[in-house]
Homo-oligomer: A and B are copies of this chain.
Amino acid sequence: MTLDTTQKPIEITPENMLGTFKVACSNCNLRELCMPIGFKSEDMHRLDEVVEKRRKIKQGEQLYSAGDSFKSLYAIRTGFFKTCVSAADGREQVTGFQMAGEIMGLDGIVTDQHNCSAIALEDAEVCVMPFADVEELSREFPVLQRHIHKIMSREIVRENSVMMLLGNMRAEERLAAFLLNLVQRLHARGFSQSELMLRMTREEIGSYLGMKLETVSRTFSKFSDEGIIEVKQRYVKILDSEALKKIFNPQTCA
Q: What is the interface of chain A, defined by CB distance below 8 A to chain B?
A: 66-67, 85-89, 91-93, 95, 106-111, 115-116, 135, 138-140, 142, 145-146, 148-157, 159-164, 166-168, 207-210, 249, 251-254
CB pair A162 B163 closer than 8 Å: yes
What is the count of identical protomers in the complex?
Answer: 2
Tell me whether A91 and B153 are in contact in the complex, defined as CB-CB below 8 angstroms, given that A85-B253, A139-B145 are known contacts: no
**CB-defined contacts of A251 to chain B, threshold 8 Å:** 87-88
Pick the most buried of A88, A111, A135, A167: most chain B CB atoms within 10 A of its CB: A167
Tell me whether A254 and B66 are in contact in the complex, defined as CB-CB below 8 angstroms, given that A91-B168, A93-B164, A110-B150 are known contacts: yes
- Within the complex, which residue of B110, B150, B252 is in contact with A154, where a contact is CB–CB below 8 Å? B110
CB pair A160 B89 closer than 8 Å: no
Tell me whether A156 and B249 are in contact in the complex, defined as CB-CB below 8 angstroms, given that A87-B168, A115-B254, A167-B166 are known contacts: no
A106 and B148 CA atoms in complex are apart in Å by 13
CB pair B156 A207 closer than 8 Å: no
Instruction: Tell me the smallest distance from the CB of A73 to a CB of chain B, in Å.
Output: 11
CB pair A89 B254 closer than 8 Å: no
Q: Please list 17 pairs of residues, one from A and one from B, whose beta carbons are closer than 8 Å in the complex, sorted by A's number.
A: A85-B161, A85-B254, A86-B254, A87-B168, A88-B252, A93-B167, A106-B152, A106-B153, A107-B157, A110-B153, A116-B160, A135-B149, A138-B139, A139-B139, A139-B145, A148-B149, A166-B167
**CB-defined contacts of A149 to chain B, threshold 8 Å:** 109, 135, 148, 152
**CB-defined contacts of A159 to chain B, threshold 8 Å:** 156, 159-160, 162-163
Instruction: Tell me the smallest distance from the CB of A80 to a CB of chain B, in Å.
Output: 19
